[in-house]
Amino acid sequence: AQMKPEDAIKFRQSGYTFMAWNMGKIKAQAVDGTTPFNKDQVAAAANAIAAVANSGMGALYLPGTDKGKGWKDTRVKPELFTDKEEVGKIAKNFVEQANKLQQVALAGDQAAIKTQFGEMGKACKACHDKFRIEE
């Protein structure tokens, strides 16, 4: 049985929201320095991001889920549902970058974490630029 479109939208939005919370902690501690660097907290955040990134969220982009039903409309462009090759490349790269961030976060070198956080951010942005409707 296929899940309801509004459920697919809810699950994927919650995944991005949860990753954003964890990215914010890494940014504050390892990039901006607005919060003291705590190796364990940064590693926990990177583990959470990697877990979501590896969870197979592509399965939530069901046909018809470019518009919400009962949920607020999504910002996904219709091309995401047709340009599967490009979406696949971008998604694969994001997972790789999230996995690398998990590795460097576990090692705990703040400068390396900062660099890899930037690399992962580029992977986020690649999808936003191509497939997200700007507000």
- Which of residues 76, 114, 124, 131 is near ligand ASC by CB under 6 A? 124
Stretch that binds ligand ASC, among 5-13, 79-87, 91-99, 119-127 (CB under 6 A): 119-127
- Which of residues 20, 59, 106, 107 is near ligand ASC by CB under 6 A? 20
> What residues contact residue 52 under an 8 Å CB cut-off, 6+ apart?
15, 18, 19
Please answer whether residues 61 and 13 qualify as being in contact, where contact means their C-beta atoms are separated by less than 8 angstroms. Answer: no
42 binding ligand ASC? (CB under 6 A): no
In b/e form, how buried is each residue of 72-104, taking b as 16+ CB within 10 angstroms?
Answer: eebebeeebbeeeeebeebbebbbebbebbbeb
DSSP string, 5-24: HHHHHHHHHHHHHHHHHHHH
75 binding ligand ASC? (CB under 6 A): no
133 binding ligand ASC? (CB under 6 A): no
76 binding ligand ASC? (CB under 6 A): no
- Which of residues 9, 23, 46, 104 is near ligand ASC by CB under 6 A? 23
15 binding ligand ASC? (CB under 6 A): no
Number of residues that bind ligand ASC (CB under 6 A): 5
110-131 and 39-53 helices cross at what angle (nearest 10)?
30
Q: Which residues bind ligand ASC (CB under 6 A)?
A: 20, 23, 121, 124-125
